[in-house]
Structure 1
Amino acid sequence: MTDVPEHDQLPLPDYDHIPLGTLPTRITGLDEEQVSQLLAYENAHGNRLPVVQVLEQRLEALRDGAEPSGPATPDTPEVGGSRSGSQVSPETSGPNVVPPFHGNPANPSQPEK
């Protein structure tokens, strides 16, 4: 059994904040030892069944001959503070809209004057 690593020793930065839906792609670049570290950490801390299952499946695949692919620490754009796209400001926002009267679908919303 792998010793339980500390959070700052994990092979994936911000592991605790990676969404389950992106975890399988995040761990494809990790080797067997690194996935084992994540599994030991998960079992000792969150012990979330879906996460444990993903890690165990990847570990089994690696033991069956699968090779790590891609970077060892893939980017996690949903975790960081980086933002892209247009900035919202009074100059770029749309007109103020008055919401419709509650319960009357015949009264559509009207722009403020």
Structure 2
Amino acid sequence: MSKHDGEALPLAGYDELPVGALEHRLRTLDSAELEVLRHYEHEHANRTRVLEMINTRQLQLAGGGTPSPGGEDLRQTARHTAGGSPVTPATSPEPIHPPPHGTPDQRAKPKGNRP
């Protein structure tokens, strides 16, 4: 959980989450957790779209909806993906050789002109 102003947030890395990802992550929270986010959002960024998503999700829960499964995995994703690409020289593909007809940087030679 993230800590801001002494308040624990139910989503790790909340401030760095794009609005599109946040919409899916809100589905994993219960009403109490959504209320914590609503208060935090209102006091800090006060993004209208995010507040609307929180309100909509709270109405869904009040109407009998339940939090989606997998919430704990989603909450910790931000902690585990704080690096770069998992590609290393060992996992990289073999270099691609230019086609026989040439590339913009390397003109092709007709077969008759080759040594």
Same fold (TM over 0.5): yes
Corresponding position of 1:80: 81
Matched with 2:5 is 6
Q: Which has the higher helix share?
A: 2
Query: Which residues of structure 1 form unaligned runs of 5+?
Result: 96-106
In the alignment, structure 1 residue 53 sits paired with structure 2 residue 52: yes
**1:109 maps to 2:82:** no
Q: SS at the partner of 2:77?
A: coil
> How many aligned residue pairs are there?
96
Runs of 4+ in 1 over 4 A off after TM superposition: 91-95
- Give, in whole Å, the separation in 1 of the partners of 2:45 and 2:71: 23
Counterpart residue type for residue 87 of structure 1: T
Q: Deviations over 1:13-53 (max 9, x none)?
A: 11011111111221212110100110110010001111111
Provide the aligned C-alpha RMSD in A.
3.3
Using the size of structure 2 for normalisation, the TM-score is 0.64
Aligned equivalent of 2:20 = 21
Shift of 1:79: 7.8
Is the 8 Å Cα contact of residues 17 and 79 (structure 1) preserved in structure 2? no
For the 8 Å contact 2:13–2:79, the answer to whether it is kept is no
- When Rg is computed on C-alpha atoms for both structures, the one with the higher figure is 2
With over 3 angstroms needed to count, the CA separation of the structure-2 counterparts of 1:50 and 1:79, relative to structure 1, is: farther
When the two structures are superposed, what TM-score results if normalisation uses the length of structure 1? 0.65
Identity percentage over the alignment? 28
Which residue identity lines up with residue 34 of structure 1 in the other structure? E
Amino acid at match of 1:109: D
Relative distance call for 1:44 and 1:65 in structure 2 (3 A) is: same
1:59 aligns to what SS in structure 2? helix
